[in-house]
């Protein structure tokens, strides 16, 4: 069990994360609607986690927290002297007796970021009285969103995605047969923002181009390797558009200039009188310049 509590000017809340031996994460976020200190919120978070664990038939529990004060007080290394914390500490110790084996360990704040995020969410969000908040699922996407579009094409009602008509018009297949004149004009404006390169559709933007869809033949290849050549092309294409029209070749061949006769044209000047004198007693500086151009 990972837990954390916070009390600040914006609100108070606690966050708990229960992790099963099968690496199943159960997040719990509770908003506190009463005045309390930060240490009281920490105790409340631990109590809420210990109250939720028995409902999951937990008998052995490892508890982790980033508050050294709370950990030392629970382990008995430090005494709990604050009057407002004594009731919390007494009730927490009674809950710990219901477990066969329980270990409380201090960890750094970096290892407790999940519980800390739940705490921040509960303390900063205002939840009106009577409003039911459903569980918040957190999904993970390991590849960019446009790659998913290759997979969902078959799930569309007519088997066509939003860019189907745009790609057809750029490819020279013309407008849809059922399109009206107004729809054709709108489609013509959209087409100016897109370009096809290598059979793939790209959208023009202020920072280059963005991949919209890929050829069906290349879909499997891109899904297997997100960092394929088409993504490299997107990254490099913007620079090509910026520097394509710049000519970096000099107007004529460059060659080194040398002075055929040293000091053929030169100048001399005197700087001084300098006060105070230098460490060697010098009062003037002699400057000689050789003009070799």
Taking only the tens place, the pLDDT of each residue in 118-171 is: 999 888 888 777 888 787 788 877 766 555 554 444 445 555 666 777 878 888
CATH number of the domain bearing residue 74: 3.30.420.10
Give the C-alpha separation, 205 to 67, whole Å: 48
Q: Which residues contact 284 (CB under 8 A, 6 or more apart)?
A: 270, 271, 272, 273, 274
Give the C-alpha separation, 112 to 204, whole Å: 42
* Most trustworthy range by pLDDT among 164-173, 246-255, 257-266: 164-173
Q: Is residue 112 part of a domain?
A: yes
Write out pLDDT tens, residues 187-227: 888 878 787 777 777 777 766 666 666 555 554 444 444 44
Mean pLDDT value across the chain: 78
Q: Is residue 133 part of a domain?
A: no
Q: Which domain holds residue 211?
A: 147-243
Are 120 and 164 within one domain?
no
Are 35 and 102 within one domain?
yes
Are 161 and 91 within one domain?
no
Confidence (pLDDT) at 222: 45
Are 152 and 106 within one domain?
no
Strand partners, 65: 106
The vertex-11 CA angle with 7 and 13, nearest 5°, equals: 65
Average pLDDT, integer, range 56-73: 92
Q: Is residue 248 part of a domain?
A: no
Q: Is the pLDDT of residue 280 over 70?
A: yes
Q: Is residue 118 part of a domain?
A: yes
Are 49 and 113 within one domain?
yes
Q: Is residue 139 part of a domain?
A: no
CA Rg, the chain, in Å?
A: 36
Q: Is residue 97 part of a domain?
A: yes
CA atoms within 13 A on the CB side of 254: 2
Average pLDDT, integer, range 228-246: 48
């Amino acid at each position: 069990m990972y837990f954390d509590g916070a009390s600040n000017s914006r609100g108070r809340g606690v966050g708990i994360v229960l992790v099963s031996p099968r690496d199943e994460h159960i997040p719990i976020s509770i908003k506190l609607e009463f005045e309390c200190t930060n240490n009281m919120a920490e105790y409340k978070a631990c109590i809420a986690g210990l109250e939720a664990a028995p409902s999951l038939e937990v008998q052995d529990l490892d508890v982790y927290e980033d508050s050294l004060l709370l950990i030392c007080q629970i382990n008995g290394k430090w005494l709990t002297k604050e009057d407002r914390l004594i009731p919390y500490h007494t009730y927490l110790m009674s809950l710990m007796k219901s477990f066969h084996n329980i270990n409380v360990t201090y960890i750094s704040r970096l290892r407790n970021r999940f519980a800390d995020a739940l705490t921040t969410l509960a303390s900063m969000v205002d939840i009106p009285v009577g409003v039911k908040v459903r569980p918040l699922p957190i999904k993970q996407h390991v590849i960019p969103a446009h790659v998913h579009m290759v997979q969902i094409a078959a799930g569309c009602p007519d088997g066509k995605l939003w860019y189907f008509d745009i790609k057809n018009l750029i490819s020279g297949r013309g407008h849809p047969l059922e399109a009206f004149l107004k729809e054709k004009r709108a489609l013509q404006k959209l087409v100016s923002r897109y370009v096809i390169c290598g059979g793939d559709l790209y959208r023009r933007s202020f920072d280059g181009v963005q991949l919209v869809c890929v050829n069906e033949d290349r879909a499997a290849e891109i899904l297997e390797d997100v960092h394929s050549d088409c993504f490299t092309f997107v990254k490099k294409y913007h620079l090509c558009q910026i520097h394509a029209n710049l000519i970096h070749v000099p107007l004529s061949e460059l060659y080194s200039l040398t002075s055929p006769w040293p000091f053929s044209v030169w100048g001399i000047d005197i700087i001084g009188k300098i006060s105070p004198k230098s460490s060697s007693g010098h009062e003037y500086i002699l400057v000689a310049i050789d003009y070799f151009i």
